[in-house]
């Protein structure tokens, strides 16, 4: 949230984590990134005029090609559920609405409600730090001291509600693309035409339908309501996702399908706002190329094209123009294009008990199977991802006898992979399915 005292939060996080293994690992990674950036900067300084000219020529040709491919004919809406896990809990426990609470525990939280976020509590933050932020709020915030309430994760409820939300969204786009348990991309072009509605009206309809809907969930009697979502409307999926974050919560933002409007929008957009540019990439762009906003990517196109991987350079040129993901969802479906893999993972407090570990892998197998059923996918290669308390992530994989999305089959295979690694003490577990097959098809061409 914009009004959080970020310097105060940063100071609290530093003081409370500086002696932890996590902090030491972050320091190690930070130094590795610094070393890499210094090397890139030295390479940049050594580039001669002819090398920069050749790289600039390639970049100019690619920018021109992208501009020719710009498609403003379709309307996409990115639907992002507001504080989804917390909102699901709050629906059947309304007393939580007025207090700061987080999903998770002392070791790690997965999300928090907006009351807690005012104190600086955020996703993937250790719970013991989040407690201090609430108990000792920033002096300038004017917030009263509060006790952070922890609510245990109940993934079965989140999956059940998510499937009901996605069913509602398919009314607007039968070929809806899921971006995860709490977000989706809709191509509403055809819906707008057949229902004679504007993008503003469709976005309002989506928000109203979700706000007024009654949801059922395991372990809760009757139906409950109270979910909200935020929507971003734009001419492509990349921009729609960025727009959905502008008027959160329970709002929407519409970016007009006009080249000049789009270029104006991205001209001052911080690069960190773009999906696919994380903190490491952001730091490299800032320290090596002096780039902090999207319009500066075009200015630095020659050195970026010369020093970074070609695929990365192409991606960044698309970001500079505000281009990315404008093909029709129906066309994508008919063409048979699909993601290379599908995955889910969970971060949690240190876990070593075989009973707890096997319960977690069962939860992940259920979530992954549910996502695959939703997308009508089957897979053959299952990968287990583990991060021990030493923070050195590793994976183990197995090839199934045949393509499957069966929860029991996924669980049995993942369980064997897990047991092969005992004893364990971990803080992250994930499952990924690759070598995908669309139900009813013999193969799925991977994206180019």
Catalytic residues, by residue number, are: 183
- Could you tell me if 194 and 202 are in contact, meaning their C-beta atoms sit under 8 angstroms apart? no
- Could you tell me if 349 and 108 are in contact, meaning their C-beta atoms sit under 8 angstroms apart? yes
Name the β-bridge partners of 59.
none
- Could you tell me if 274 and 237 are in contact, meaning their C-beta atoms sit under 8 angstroms apart? no
Hey, how many other C-beta atoms are within 10 angstroms of the C-beta on 406?
14
Closest C-alpha to 389, from 351, 356, 338: 351
Residue 67 is encoded by which pair of tokens? Answer: 């501009």
Question: What is the b/e burial string over 72-100, where b = at least 16 CB atoms within 10 angstroms of the residue's CB?
Answer: eebbbbbbbbbbbbbbbbbbbeeebeeeb
Place of tokens 């075989």: 354
State in Å, rounded, how far the first CA of the chain is from the last one: 37
d(CA 199, CA 205): 10
Residue 98 is encoded by which pair of tokens? Answer: 């007025």
341: phi then psi, degrees, rounded to nearest 5: -155, 170
- Could you tell me if 182 and 159 are in contact, meaning their C-beta atoms sit under 8 angstroms apart? no
- Could you tell me if 147 and 132 are in contact, meaning their C-beta atoms sit under 8 angstroms apart? no
d(CA 220, CA 367): 19
- Could you tell me if 343 and 433 are in contact, meaning their C-beta atoms sit under 8 angstroms apart? yes
Residue 364 is encoded by which pair of tokens? Answer: 């992940």
d(CA 171, CA 169): 5
3-state secondary structure of 310: helix
d(CA 356, CA 346): 13
User: Dihedral, CA atoms, 241, 309, 303, 319, nearest 10 degrees?
Assistant: -10
3-state secondary structure of 391: coil
Closest C-alpha to 189, from 327, 359, 82, 73: 73
- Could you tell me if 97 and 151 are in contact, meaning their C-beta atoms sit under 8 angstroms apart? no
105: phi then psi, degrees, rounded to nearest 5: -155, -165
């Amino acid at each position: 949230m914009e009004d959080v005292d970020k310097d105060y939060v940063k100071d609290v996080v530093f003081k409370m984590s500086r002696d932890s293994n996590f902090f030491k690992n972050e320091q190690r990674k930070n130094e590795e990134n610094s070393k890499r950036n210094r090397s890139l900067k030295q390479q940049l300084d050594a580039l001669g005029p002819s090398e920069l000219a050749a790289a600039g020529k390639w970049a100019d040709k690619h920018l021109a090609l992208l501009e020719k491919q710009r498609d403003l004919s379709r309307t996409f809406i990115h639907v992002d559920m507001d504080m989804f896990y917390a909102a699901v809990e709050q629906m059947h426990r309304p007393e939580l609405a007025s207090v700061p609470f987080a999903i998770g525990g002392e070791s790690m939280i997965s999300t928090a409600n907006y009351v807690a976020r005012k104190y600086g509590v955020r996703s993937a933050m250790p719970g013991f730090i989040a407690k201090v932020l609430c108990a000792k709020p920033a002096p300038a915030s004017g917030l009263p001291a509060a006790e952070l309430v922890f609510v245990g994760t109940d993934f079965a409820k989140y999956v059940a509600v998510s499937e009901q939300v996605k069913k509602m969204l398919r009314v607007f786009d039968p070929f809806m693309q899921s971006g995860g348990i709490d977000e989706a991309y809709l191509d509403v072009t055809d819906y707008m035409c057949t229902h004679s509605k504007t993008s503003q009206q469709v976005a309002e309809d989506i928000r109203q339908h979700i706000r007024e809907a009654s949801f059922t969930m395991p372990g809760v009697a009757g139906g409950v309501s109270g979910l909200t979502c935020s929507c971003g409307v734009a001419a492509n999926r990349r921009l729609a996702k960025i727009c959905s974050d502008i008027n959160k919560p329970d709002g929407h933002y519409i970016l007009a399908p006009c080249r000049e409007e789009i270029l104006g929008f991205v001209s001052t957009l911080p690069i960190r706002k773009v999906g696919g540019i994380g903190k490491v990439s952001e730091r490299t762009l800032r320290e090596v190329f002096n780039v902090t906003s999207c319009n500066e990517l075009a200015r630095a196109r020659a050195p970026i094209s010369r020093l970074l991987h070609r695929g990365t350079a192409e991606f960044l040129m698309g970001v500079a123009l505000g281009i990315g993901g404008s093909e029709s969802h129906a066309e994508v479906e008919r063409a048979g294009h699909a993601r290379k893999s599908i995955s889910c993972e969970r971060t949690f407090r240190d876990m070593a008990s075989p009973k707890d570990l096997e319960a977690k892998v069962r939860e992940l197998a259920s979530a992954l199977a549910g996502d695959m059923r939703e997308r009508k996918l089957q897979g053959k290669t299952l990968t287990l991802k583990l991060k021990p308390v030493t923070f050195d992530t590793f994976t183990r994989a197995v090839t199934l006898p045949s393509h499957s999305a069966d929860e029991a089959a996924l669980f049995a295979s993942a369980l064997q992979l897990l047991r092969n690694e005992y004893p364990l003490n971990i803080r992250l577990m994930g499952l990924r399915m690759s070598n995908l097959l669309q139900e009813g098809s013999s193969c799925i061409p991977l994206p180019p």
